[in-house]
Amino acid sequence: MENKPKTTTVNNKRSLWKNRNFMIFWSGQTLSSFGSQITLMALPLIASVTLNANPLEMGILRTVEFLPFLLFGLFAGVWVDYLPKRLLMVFMDISRAAILLVIPFLFVIGSLNMLSLWIVAFLTGICTTFYAICYQSFVPYILEKDELTDGNSKLELSRSVSESSGPGLAGMLVQLLSGAFAILVNAVSSIISGIMLLLLKVDEPKQVKNKKENTSVWRDIGEGLKIVFKNRYLSAIAGCSATTNFFLNVVLAILVLYATKDIGLSPALIGLLMTLSSLGAVISAFISNTVINKFGFGKAIVYSSLFQGIGGLCFLGAIGNEFVAFMMMCFALFFMTFFMTIYNVAQVSLRQMITEKRVLGRMNATMRTLVWGSIPLGAFTGGLLGTWIGLYPTIIVAACGGMLPFLWVLFSPVRKVTDGKIINEIS
């Protein structure tokens, strides 16, 4: 339900550099994000270069990576609300590291194939599902409301830096050694991230169900769904983000294959492409907090979504000459990641500010299920289209579809949220 109107501002009066818990958390997330980006680049390169995967197999790989958000996301939200979030993240970090170690082991004994790659991607995806929902629900426990935008900007900066450096390193590791050994970096970073989480000192009150209430997992899931679908702010953001992810992943599912097979780029050049294009996110992360404070959440969300779609149109020029195709893909990804960073900081901070802590897990689980659940659908669609109509025509479909998502927030109350003021708090 919605309570009486409540005003919250995003003016950051306290320095996060003096917040011990946040600095430890930020450091661990930076390291973990760096390792994850190497794996995200290494897996498709292993499939394309080492295992000679076809378009459909590439689409399946990206599908199984994110399928757990569709299958387990809503259930994860209930767990996150009632279990200690910090310890749950530690468990997922260690589990993810153990699963990833299977890839280099199978490579050494000569048994690595697409089936094993799909299984590992699916299992690590389960860990990522729980971790990601827990992560966004845990941040409000270590930051005050007026610190959330600044904190999310810093966390987004880490993600952006890892995106700019991780793929380049992954490309070089795959070309010089093998993709299997590049995976080791993520396994080690996950272990260190888990250890750093154990160092946090956070007051995280335990939530206990009221025994007098007729509660169940399905009832809790239903509450999370109502929180999102009955609130016009959250439902519009969910629709915008899900549509963006769908069309983006139609491209990403076949982009490495298109770049290596049709354009002729080497793994090192593909890593360089991802590194250069991710600089847009790095630059954006430095200014996103200022942009949001100056223009307000509404304008930041609507216009950043629009410009993501415009940037994606550059993919249409990624054809023919190797240099021209490389530069056009770079421009497309650069502008998309630049505006995507502003969009993410704004919409995540808005969601955290207007939702009570006791239901953050279920709200984030519903949002993640919708938003990340569209990723496997888009990836599988990309694989099918790449097989049926060809790789470049698939890119055309995705680039044109990428112009649609901003309509969700343009025709919603989100566009009216100005001057850093939040309208309602959801309980």
Instruction: Summarize pLDDT for 332-366 with one digit per residue, the tens.
Output: 999 998 999 999 999 988 988 888 878 888 888 89
Q: Tell me the per-residue pLDDT of 176-228, one tens digit each, with 9 for 90 and over.
A: 666 677 788 788 889 999 999 998 888 776 665 555 455 677 788 888 889 89
Phi, psi of 165 (to 5 degrees): -100, -35
- C-alpha 245/C-alpha 380 separation (Å) is 12
Which whole number is the average pLDDT over 133-156?
A: 83
Q: Tell me the per-residue pLDDT of 112-137, one tens digit each, with 9 for 90 and over.
A: 899 999 999 999 989 988 888 888 78
DSSP letter string, 246-278: HHHHHHHHHHHHIIIIII---HHHHHHHHHHHH
Q: Is-contact 351 228, C-beta < 8 A? A: no
Tokens of 170: 């992954």
The angle, 0 to 180 degrees and rounded to 10, between the axes of the packed helices 114-142 and 55-82 is 30
Using CB atoms within 10 A of its CB, is residue 262 exposed (0-12), middle (13-18) or buried (19+)? middle
The angle, 0 to 180 degrees and rounded to 10, between the axes of the packed helices 55-82 and 85-100 is 150
- C-alpha 14/C-alpha 304 separation (Å) is 27
> Which of 36, 53, 37, 34 shows the shortest CA–CA distance to 45?
53
Specify the pTM. Answer: 0.74
Using CB atoms within 10 A of its CB, is residue 168 exposed (0-12), middle (13-18) or buried (19+)? buried
- C-alpha 131/C-alpha 136 separation (Å) is 9
Q: Which of 114-123, 240-249, 362-371 has the lowest mean pLDDT?
A: 362-371
- C-alpha 85/C-alpha 223 separation (Å) is 19
Whether the per-residue pLDDT at 402 is higher than 60: the answer is yes
Whether the per-residue pLDDT at 423 is higher than 70: the answer is no
